[in-house]
């Protein structure tokens, strides 16, 4: 739960509750369908001694520290000290299908007139978007770059063009390992198996990077063939 500087200074707290089409946010997965208009209801509980002036309600979805969609709705209202206020408004996510797909962390925030977050709530959202959305295209781009990284490293290994130093060979495989971890995280998200989060992203990316480093480290030394000298004897079979 995020608090505004004013709330923190007063030593109190501002709590946010929300529901979408009557379903409480934070319980289960929030379904976002571009074909349907949703009714958003927010409740702000002001436990501080100052008035909290809400200007905007922001709904956003992010993954891998990147924001893939965000909707800002102007809903101005004041929440007096030690009181509760509730507001409702419709959300038309008709363009969401071109922005994201699959499971994504979704955050709902109430923002004040200085564009500072007063309070927020986070949940997992199931976006019924297209594979060719921004998020889907991002995943496909990472997949292509990862495949090229693996191809370059393996071709260099087959042609014995890797550096003679073990650590340099390991670093040659590192980008492919990181890409493999990213592909795993995005694929699980698009397939609606696991939503991206630090607890899910870090093990996949670090594990894949470590495996690629180890693979590069244990690759054989690129032995070059010694050219024949003038004193070398060549046996000619009869």
CATH number belonging to the domain at 5-127, selected among 2.60.40.10, 3.40.50.300, 1.10.3470.10, 3.30.70.20: 2.60.40.10
Q: Look at the pTM and tell me if it is higher than 0.85.
A: no
More confident of the two residues 120 and 233: 120
Task: Examine the pLDDT at 225 and tell me if it is beyond 90.
Answer: no
Q: Residue 177 contacts by C-beta under 8 Å, 6 or more apart in sequence?
A: 208, 209, 210, 211, 212, 213, 215
Task: Examine the pLDDT at 236 and tell me if it is beyond 90.
Answer: no
State pLDDT tens for residues 50-78: 999 999 999 999 998 899 999 999 999 99
Task: Examine the pLDDT at 228 and tell me if it is beyond 80.
Answer: no
pLDDT of residue 220: 85
Identify the H or E element spanning 208: helix 198-218
pLDDT of residue 142: 96
Task: Provide the β-strand partners of residue 119.
Answer: 110
Residues spanned by CATH 2.60.40.10 within the chain? 5-127
């Amino acid at each position: 739960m995020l608090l505004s500087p004013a709330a923190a200074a007063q030593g109190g707290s501002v709590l946010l509750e929300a529901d979408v089409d009557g379903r409480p946010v934070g319980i289960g997965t929030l379904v976002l369908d571009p074909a349907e208009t949703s009714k958003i209801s927010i409740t702000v509980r002001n436990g501080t001694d100052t008035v909290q002036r809400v200007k905007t309600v922001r709904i956003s979805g992010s993954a891998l520290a990147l924001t893939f969609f965000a909707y800002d709705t102007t809903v101005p209202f004041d929440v007096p000290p030690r009181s509760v206020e509730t507001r409702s408004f419709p959300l038309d996510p008709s363009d969401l299908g071109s922005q994201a797909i699959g499971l994504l962390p979704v955050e709902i925030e109430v923002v004040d007139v200085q564009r500072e977050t007063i309070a927020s709530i986070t949940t997992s959202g199931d976006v019924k978007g297209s594979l060719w959305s921004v998020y889907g295209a991002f995943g496909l781009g990472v997949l292509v770059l990862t495949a090229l990284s693996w191809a370059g490293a393996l071709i260099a290994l087959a042609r014995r063009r890797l550096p003679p130093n073990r650590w340099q060979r390991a670093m040659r495989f590192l980008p492919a390992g990181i890409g493999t971890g990213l592909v795993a995280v995005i694929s699980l998200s698009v397939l609606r198996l696991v939503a991206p989060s630090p607890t899910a992203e870090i093990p996949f990316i670090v594990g894949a990077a470590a495996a690629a480093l180890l693979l590069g480290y244990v690759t054989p030394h690129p032995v070059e063939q010694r050219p024949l000298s003038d004193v070398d004897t060549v046996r000619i079979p009869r």
